Structure 1
Amino acid sequence: MRHKEISFVIHCLICCLFYCGTEKVIAQNYPDAGSWNTFNVEYGINNKLTGLFTEECRIKENFSRLNLFYTNMGIEYKITKYFKMALVYRFIDKFQDDNSFSFRHRLMLDLTLKNKFSKFGLSYRQRLQAEERDVYSSDAGKVNEWYSRNKFAVKYDLDKPYTPYASVEFRYQLHNPRKIESDQTWHRVRYVFGVDYKLSDRNTCGVYYLIQKEWSVLDPQDQYIVGLEYTLSF
């Protein structure tokens, strides 16, 4: 039995190595480094509803070129102690290679489960998003891109102003008229490791490192991101 188990593991490793090698032949990966810089506002309307606002600037190409700006506006509803939902609209200014901007509109529905076990806080977020781009300048502008994003996160309460956390998010492409070849596939993962520091009851800042990997797309790209965040809560 032991010999069969070892043989099975070896065969699995060989298959994985063959698959990874094949992926590299099919699509060349181009790594990049950048930064994401985020300002958040959370306004408690009552004990159930919270207004959400976010402004973010992203830099790419080894911290040398603007990638995009986006603005989020939304509402979050706390259903129970462990379950909440949010509806958020995002307006995106995507900087193009020809130095023009691509204007995009995204709608996101988030469902989040969370619980605390001793000092560990665990959460799962399911996001369904639809996006239009270049509505008046593209024939496919009004055709939505649909994605499902699944995020698992853990944080550790140190009973101090700073809180370390980690998360992993997988993205599934439901339909994208511009990238049909990746429909109905998982094609992106993000790993995040960070620390939030509570300056006061209303002010929190944070820093994180994000690694993004892509596959099953025509031009996969690995991204290595340094992120800075500031959150103002009312």
Structure 2
Amino acid sequence: MKKIISVLSVTLAFLRAFSQDTWFETEFSTKISKDLEFSLTPEIRFKDNFELNEYLLQTGLEYKFSKYFKLGAGYRFGYNINGDDEHESFGRFNVDAKTGFKWKNFNPKFRLRFMNDDDFADDNEAANYLRYKLELEYKIKKLNLEPYILNEWYHDLEAKEFSKSRFEGGLMYKINKHNKIGAYYRVNNYLNSTKDNKNILGLSYKFSL
């Protein structure tokens, strides 16, 4: 355990030197019934100099139809913080279809998400996206570690083009049956845009019942 914490600390310090933003997220989930799960996810996001940039709260429901297929829906509400402590609210609704399977210690996954994104500005219309995410997870059972990599693409349905891609690598540590902690390094690439790409260091905590 001490060796794992030491390795994680050194790795995080190294990645922090290359990251622009730092995100902290938590997830609390519980089963309403055998196949229905409810989740609550608060998140805080900081800019490069640890200046508060955004905070949000997402709720979700997910139903497991079979071993290989799940459907879910969620809503996110949050605030962007601009200069002089000005706040801009935003909301986002999503519907998900998930599939995957387990082979030995590998767990490949695919998620298709429809997302409706609204910043609530009077002169802006809500944008609709399809998001395609591929993820590969590997379980190191003896160490309770779960490293993973993923790639996600955002398809803007109005512009009929891919507007963003995301690459991420991370590691989760299973403390016990209900608790996990983790970290990830994420690169957001903004396509066909003058917006700068972002390198993000994320820390996460998950609690499930």
TM-score normalized by structure 2? Answer: 0.87
Aligned partner of 1:154: which letter? Answer: L
Task: Give the match for residue 139 of structure 1.
Answer: 123
Q: CA deviation at 1:148?
A: 1.1
Partner of 1:172: 155
Matched with 2:80 is 94
Which residue does the alignment assign to 2:46?
Answer: 59
What is the CA distance between 1:68 and its match in structure 2?
0.7
Letter of the 2:202 partner, please give it: G
Structure 1 position 41 matched with structure 2 position 28: yes
Alpha-carbon separation, structure 1, partners of 2:98 and 2:38: 16
**96, 104, 108: which one pairs with 1:122?**
108
Q: Which runs of 4+ in 1 moved over 2 A?
A: none
Equivalent in the alignment of 1:153: 135
Q: Are positions 1:68 and 2:54 aligned together?
A: yes
Task: Tell me, yes or no, if the aligned pair for 2:22 and 2:50 is still in contact at 8 Å.
Answer: no
Shift of 1:98: 4.7
Rate the CA distance shift 1:32–1:200 in 2: closer, same or farther, 3 A.
Answer: closer
Give the SS at the match of 1:129.
strand
CA shift at 1:133, angstroms? Answer: 1.8
Tell me the secondary structure at the aligned position of residue 216 of structure 1: coil
Cα displacement string for residues 87-122 of structure 1 (whole angstroms, at most 9, x for unaligned residues):
001001111235311111110111111111222100
Whole-angstrom CA distance in 2 between matches of 1:114 and 1:184 = 28
Distance in 2 (alpha carbons) for counterparts of 1:148 and 1:76: 18
Give the letter aligned to residue 155 of structure 2. Y
1:189 counterpart (138, 141, 165)? 165
Aligned position for 1:198: 174
Give the C-alpha shift of residue 201 in structure 1: 0.4
Name the counterpart of 1:227: 202
1:216 maps to 192
Unaligned 5+ runs, structure 2: 1-17
Tell me how far apart the structure 2 counterparts of residues 84 and 209 of structure 1 sit (CA, whole Å).
27
Tell me the amino acid that sits aligned with residue 145 of structure 2: Y
Percent of residue pairs identical = 26
> Which one-letter code corresponds to 2:60 in the other structure?
G
Aligned equivalents of 1:127 and 1:197: distance in 2?
26
Change (3 A) 1:208 1:32: closer
Structure 1: gaps spanning 5 or more residues: 1-30, 176-182
Q: How many aligned residue pairs are there?
A: 191
Structure 1 residues 134, 123: CA separation in 2 closer, same or farther (over 3 Å shift)?
A: same
TM-score, reference length from structure 1: 0.78
| Structure label with greater radius of gyration | 1
Which residue number corresponds to residue 85 of structure 1? Answer: 71
Given residue 87 of structure 2, which amino acid in structure 1 is its aligned partner? F
